[in-house]
Amino acid sequence: EDQVTQSPEALRLQEGESSSLNCSYTVSGLRGLFWYRQDPGKGPEFLFTLYSAGEEKEKERLKATLTKKESFLHITAPKPEDSATYLCAVQKNTGFQKLVFGTGTRLLVSP
Amino acid sequence: DTEVTQTPKHLVMGMTNKKSLKCEQHMGHRAMYWYKQKAKKPPELMFVYSYEKLSINESVPSRFSPECPNSSLLNLHLHALQPEDSALYLCASSQAGGTEAFFGQGTRLTVV
C-alpha cells in the first residue's frame, strides 16, 4: 500500500536554529515528490519538485533533498515567518494526477 | 503568473441551499482539481478534469457536482450538503502531463 509519513508531527524552533523535516515514502514507481508550505486557512503554496534520488533544490532558507526512500526539507537559520505546516506529496508513474499527501509537519519558529 | 483564484473565500449555507464554488486559472494548465481539506489533515482529492473532461471522481457523493466550462474555469456545485461537509475546499491546476500543482487560497465552507 502506498504510504507517505512525515516527521516530526510538530516542531518548535528558536529563530536561527536550523533543523530538518522528514518525508518517508513507500510507493511503487515514484514519478515525483513535491513540497508545499501551508499557512492556516490558506491553500498550499508550492515550494519544490524532486524527481530523482540525489536531486537537491534550494530556495532562500530552504533546501530539499531526495533519496530512494525519503526526502528532507532542511531549514537553515529559520525566521518566525517560516512558521507554517509543511506538506510533502508523492506522485506515482501510474495515476500520476493523484497525489499521495503526508500528514504534514507543523513548524513554529519563535523569535 | 502562478495564481489560482477561488471565490468566494467564505461561504455559509443551509442544508437545503444550492451554492457554487468557482475557480479560475490563467496559466494555460489543462488539468484542474478539487480537493477537500479538514482541519489538521492533508488535502483529499475529489475530482480531476483533464482537457475539460472529468478524468477522476474519487467516489464523491452526488451532492457535489463538478463542472469545467472551459480550460480556465472550474466550478463545484453544492446541493443538500451535510454539516460534516464543512471544510476548506481547494482548487488546483497543473500541466496535463502531471507537473507540480498550484493551489488557490480555498473556500472555507460551513454547512449549518
CB-CB neighbors (< 8 A) of B45 in chain A: 98-99
Q: Which of A31, A35, A97 to mutate to test the interface with B (most CBs of B within 10 A)?
A: A97
Q: Identify the pLDDT of residue B2.
A: 62
Q: What are phi and psi of B102, to 5 degrees?
A: -110, 130
Given pLDDT bands bounded at 50, 70 and 90, which one contains residue A1? confident
Q: Which of B23, B103, B107, B110 to mutate to test the interface with A (most CBs of A within 10 A)?
A: B103
Interface A-B, measured as beta-carbon pairs within 8 A, has a size of 56
Taking 70 as the pLDDT cut, the residues of chain B under it are: 1-2
pLDDT tens digits along B75-89: 999 999 999 999 999
Q: Identify the pLDDT of residue A36.
A: 98
Q: Is A90 exposed, middle or buried (0-12, 13-18, 19+ CB in 10 A)?
A: buried
pLDDT tens digits along B61-77: 999 999 999 999 999 99
